[in-house]
Chain A
């Protein structure tokens, strides 16, 4: 079974700075998809960014980018120019051939003014 590990339960960053959230996963599959979801205090689950394993190019969405290292099974999220509205729980998720999402336990990010 696939597992997703987020090794940082909590992180903090100053407004306007850059922060990187870590995610590693374990799978024997070669074709899969990876996602980062954001859960602000409003408790909604919001898709931040996604990556296909067969693509070598790292995905980017505005201030959010990933560092995808397939051999190392690592999928970190970088947030540039952090904003107060980025304060949230961030979940890394894996989807393989079973079509089910497997989530990590989350990282609580606080952006300080």
Chain B
């Protein structure tokens, strides 16, 4: 089983719909992240959480919200989806207790298309 699991893998929906992307991890990491990937733009940070009670905005948080339901779960919501939110979304985790060179571990991504 994957250490970082994202659901759904793919989603097509309509403008104005509320959408939730879910992420769960079995790595025991305290830190979790949501990124968005667009062609030619790399990965950009949407939100991040260093523990259950700590939620922070990233570079592009407008139009998104998150919930850290437990140490292992971090969900991303689009309250009213718009077409320019069509992208590949990644969840990642890292160990805040480890050395600074600890990498982030990524899920397999959710490809979201908004019509």
Contact = CB atoms under 8 A, between A and B. Distances in A.
B88 A43 contact: yes
- Give the interface size class of chain B: 20 to 34
B100 A103 contact: no
B100 A105 contact: no
B26 interface: no
Interface in B70-114: 88, 90, 92, 96, 100-101, 103-106, 108-109, 111
> Chain A contact residues: over half helix, strand or loop, or mixed?
loop
Contacts of B44: 103
A47 to B, nearest CB: 5
Contact of A95 (B40, B48, B100): B100
Interface of B: 31, 33, 40-45, 48, 50, 58, 88, 90, 92, 96, 100-101, 103-106, 108-109, 111
